[in-house]
Structure 1
Amino acid sequence: MPVSCRLRLLLAQLNVERAKSGQPAISLRRIAQESGIAQSVLVLLHTERR
């Protein structure tokens, strides 16, 4: 069963808001480090590969 993910959209929206307030962008690497989710998994979700 394919998994649908809005990670790309959510990350873009978050980073636009952060840019407006002068904060640095959030990266997939940072999300991986802080969440404990493997970066490769986040990359696959971000690129919407199945």
Structure 2
Amino acid sequence: MTEEIQLIEQIVDRYDGEVGMLIPMMQDLQADRGYLPMEHLHCLSERLDVPLSR
């Protein structure tokens, strides 16, 4: 598992995988990286089973 995927897994686990916490998850990811890489958004979308357009 790559470092990026591990980071996303940690963030999702921190919020118990609740889709309603998507914005705070994205804020945590942005705080760690300084921006929101598209690859990370795709991974987060897949992990939460939420369309990327949402």
Q: Fold-level match, TM-score > 0.5? A: no
TM-score by length of 2: 0.34
Which entry has the higher C-alpha Rg, 1 or 2? 1
- Structure of greater relative contact order (alpha carbons < 8 Å, 6+ residues apart): 1
